[in-house]
Structure 1
Amino acid sequence: MTDESPSKYAADILPEQAWEWVQRGEAVLVDVRSDAEREWVGAVPGALAVPLKQWPGMAMNPDFDATLLAQVPVGSKKLLMLCRSGVRSMAAAERATALGYEAYNVLEGFEGPLDENGHRGTLGGWRKRGLPWVQR
């Protein structure tokens, strides 16, 4: 975990820590990327797909809260929010916390930050760190 926890959700954690918690059964990984992102770029097997925003237009998903609440009972497990780069997942972790969950932001997201050439996937992220993922 990072040294300082954000005030609106439990903490920021690295992808490896997230994967350890999932493997131990302590947490549920929630992929908040759009359906299009998961289909085109790749997805984590077993992750719960609950888009925060939807393609096209990236409008807020009106079913986000209801889907989370229906899939994971509040208080049952930690929620680990994963997006493309670790930014949208902060908003998702804040929303999940407001719903009563112990929610975490997975730093770097699935693809990591942009490199000097404007490309993702070279400096970090779930995929770059060699954690499980599939491409359809």
Structure 2
Amino acid sequence: MGLGSAVGEVSPGEAWRVLCDDDAARLIDVRTRAEWGFVGVPDLRETGQGPLFIEWASYPDMSVNVRFAEEVEKALNGEKPSTLLFLCRSGARSLKAAEAVSAHYARTGMAVTCLNVAEGFEGDVDASGHRGSHNGWKARGLAWRQS
């Protein structure tokens, strides 16, 4: 990865391993406040840190947060992360968020690996049209909690 490179992608399990193995890695949950409150959030206490919660788009109109990359930088509060992992419901919004942050850091000259968490927190819909049982952070048995 590195400076000016494309955004990578990891499975939820790989994301968990990165967070456990690399103290300088951070998880950014880009879902909406409503999703955090009603669906739950990743529980990273075992890794010694917590996710950063920054909306990529705001409910109900889902307008994109044009200051997202700057808000990520502000939330990091001077930290120099090695890897930023981005998580949304299914992996679509988080990919766009990761691309925006990767481009932002490339412009500033700082090398940060940006990785999209494929499958997201709830994953794809199953045969019944429901999320959360087929794949994704929750269905893979990774730590989470109701907020």
Name the structure, 1 or 2, with higher relative contact order (CA <8 Å, separation 6+). 2
Unaligned runs of 5+ in 2: 44-49, 106-111
TM-superposition CA deviations, 1:82-114 (whole Å, max 9, x none) = 000011111011111101232100010000001
The count of corresponding residues between Structure 1 and Structure 2 is 130
TM-superposition CA deviations, 1:50-78 (whole Å, max 9, x none) = 11001111111233122111123585321
TM-score, normalised relative to structure 1: 0.87
Contact 2:34 2:59 (8 Å CA) reproduced: yes
Give the one of 77, 83, 87 matched to 1:78.
83
Give the one of 58, 81, 97 matched to 2:102.
97
What residue in structure 1 maps to residue 40 of structure 2?
42
1:122 aligned onto 2:133 = yes
Structure 1 range deviating more: 22-31 or 107-116: 22-31
Higher helix share: 2
Report the Cα offset of residue 29 of structure 1: 0.5
TM-score, normalised relative to structure 2: 0.81
What residue in structure 1 maps to residue 120 of structure 2?
109
Contact 1:75 1:102 (8 Å CA) reproduced: no
Secondary structure of the residue that 1:99 maps to in structure 2?
A: helix
* Distance in 2 of aligned mates of 1:34 and 1:118: 21
Percent of aligned pairs with the same residue? 38
Calculate the aligned-residue CA RMSD, in Å: 1.8
* Distance in 2 of aligned mates of 1:58 and 1:129: 27
Unaligned runs of 5+ in 1: 1-6
* Distance in 1 of aligned mates of 2:54 and 2:5: 20
Secondary structure of the residue that 2:42 maps to in structure 1?
A: coil
Give the one of 19, 23, 39 matched to 2:20.
23
